[in-house]
Amino acid sequence: MMARIAAEAGLHYEEEAQPMDPSGKVAVITGGASGIGLATAKLLAANGARVVIGDLQDELGRAAAAEIETAGGQAHFVRTDVLIRDDLQRLLDTAVERFGRVDIVHNNAGVNEGGDFLAPDADAWERTLAIDLEAVIRLTQLAVQQFRKQGGGGVIINTASMGGIIPISTSPIYATSKAGVIHLSRSLGHLASEGIRVNAICPSYTDTPMVRAAGEQVMEMMKQEVGGILTPEQIAEGVLELVRDDSRAGAVMRVTIRNGLDYAFERRAGR
Ligand SMILES: NC(=O)c1ccc[n+]([C@@H]2O[C@H](COP(=O)([O-])OP(=O)(O)OC[C@H]3O[C@@H](n4cnc5c(N)ncnc54)[C@H](O)[C@@H]3O)[C@@H](O)[C@H]2O)c1
């Protein structure tokens, strides 16, 4: 309407993008058995999306899918090790078999096993890099291929971290992996020309099993450092916003106690 009025007046008008409605969409979420991924799976399902959870944790994954179904949603669990390419392909294929397509991919599985960098346990840091960055790259590639097969469209939200923006002296490999996730997502902003949006979300400290595993003392330190700790549900709200906001591509959302949801890099589709 505005575009027509502007055209009649001889003006260029950049049409506001329409929000993507998650209702009826098919969402694939890695690391969806716990923490941020679980909260996202529940929130997307509550907003009408059909969700496929991929995770290493069988019992928790099945329980998550059952809980969503009991609440009236549609969900399915696929045991997935994001380190195995065939598992990632099977995760997408199962979503297609079960629900017909894939519209949303939340690349979220992650670990922080870096250990002491200066007395390194090689296996630990390599695993962190492989899960937190390489697997994100791989599933992003596979998801884009799937979106193209479907004729374009689709959104990928990669879980990075504030640690990908601000250096973490105690977890340099984790921080490096997350910085890679941010740069990958920004570098794929151009896929918006095919209607495919790749964005990253950077949570600050969030109360999940990953953080709890570090112990009470570390959690207290985190709270002191940034003024509190976020809930997984707050991060899920950010993911939902990135699903809905059709104008964002190659953007990097931050979620912090201080500023709530805002953007470290604001890129919008077509700009
Ligand atoms: N909690 C925080 O403070 C925080 C802050 C910033 C970013 N993040 C990121 O958020 C994401 C989710 O973490 P969380 O805090 O919810 O932790 P979490 O431990 O509750 O969830 C991570 C999930 O990933 C799964 N996972 C790990 N390795 C896997 C593999 N190889 N294959 C499949 N699944 C695997 C785990 O089983 C688990 O269910 C991670 O990428 C993490 O780095 C967390």
**Superfamily designation of domain 20-265:** NAD(P)-binding Rossmann-like Domain (3.40.50.720)
CA distances from 39 to 20, 178, 182, 263 (A): 19, 20, 21, 21
* Alpha-carbon gap, residue 141 to 221, rounded angstroms: 37
* Alpha-carbon gap, residue 93 to 98, rounded angstroms: 9
Q: Whose CA is nearest to atom 20 of ligand 1?
A: 35
Tell me, yes or no, if 174 is annotated catalytic. yes
Q: What is the pLDDT of residue 267?
A: 80
CA distances from 91 to 30, 81, 181 (A): 9, 10, 20
Strand partners, 154: 196
Ligand 1 pocket residues where CB is under 6 Å: 30-31, 33-37, 55-57, 80-83, 108-111, 131, 159, 161, 203, 205-206, 208-211
| pLDDT tens digit sequence for 2-59 | 344 334 444 433 445 568 999 999 999 999 999 999 999 999 999 999 999 999 999 9
Q: What is the pLDDT of residue 8?
A: 47
| pLDDT tens digit sequence for 210-221 | 999 999 999 999
CA 255 to chain centre: 13
Q: What is the pLDDT of residue 271?
A: 56
Q: 128 C-alpha to center of ligand 1: Å?
A: 11
Ranges under pLDDT 50 in the chain: 1-15
* Alpha-carbon gap, residue 36 to 203, rounded angstroms: 9
Q: What is the pLDDT of residue 64?
A: 98
Q: What is the pLDDT of residue 270?
A: 64
Q: What is the pLDDT of residue 235?
A: 98
The pTM score is: 0.93
Q: 109 C-alpha to center of ligand 1: Å?
A: 5
Q: What is the pLDDT of residue 119?
A: 74
